[in-house]
Amino acid sequence: MALHMIKLAVGAAAVEDMLAWHATHRGVGQPWLMSTRMTPKRAGELLDGGSLYRVFKGVILCRQAILAVNTVGEGVTARCEVTLSDQVVRVAPTPRRAFQGWRYLKAKDAPPDLDTEAFGDVPADLARQLREAGAW
């Protein structure tokens, strides 16, 4: 059974903000890297089908498959880089209280993928209002 990771999307109010930031700062076609100070002790489980779920303003909204977990550097300057899939998958909006850093998320607690084709092209502002109202 896959183990997932969950992290706050700091500085982004919505998935679109995160996508725009990546395109501006990393460039299209560049790998998605999530840097963190500590290397997960359960990295092998994360690589067995795990995803990084992101929390925007107290709600889990998307995930990206975890492709690699690498420790970069040594000693006090060491950090961890988690390589993520380019595909950002929307998930059923799920409330989540604030926390620091990242946490493990068991597969049974992970929100299901959202069938975006069932809703068509909902404007981002309307989708946000529906999520805040708990209707979507």
Alpha helices in 1-136 (DSSP H): 15-25, 43-46, 116-119, 124-132
Number of Cβ atoms within 10 Å of the Cβ of 84: 20
User: What pLDDT does 114 receive?
Assistant: 81
Contact 63, 16 (CB under 8 A): no
Q: For residue range 33-86, what is the model confidence (pLDDT) as tens digits?
A: 998 988 899 999 999 999 999 999 899 999 999 999 999 988 888 899 999 998
Q: What are phi and psi of 100, to 5 degrees?
A: -105, 150
User: What pLDDT does 98 receive?
Assistant: 84
Q: For residue range 2-16, what is the model confidence (pLDDT) as tens digits?
A: 899 999 998 888 898
User: What pLDDT does 135 receive?
Assistant: 59
Q: What are phi and psi of 133, to 5 degrees?
A: -80, -10
User: What pLDDT does 131 receive?
Assistant: 61
Instruction: Name the helix (H) or strand (E) containing 128.
Output: helix 124-132
Q: For residue range 94-131, what is the model confidence (pLDDT) as tens digits?
A: 899 888 889 999 999 999 998 766 566 677 677 667 76
Question: Which residues lie across from 81 on neighbouring strands?
Answer: 35, 70
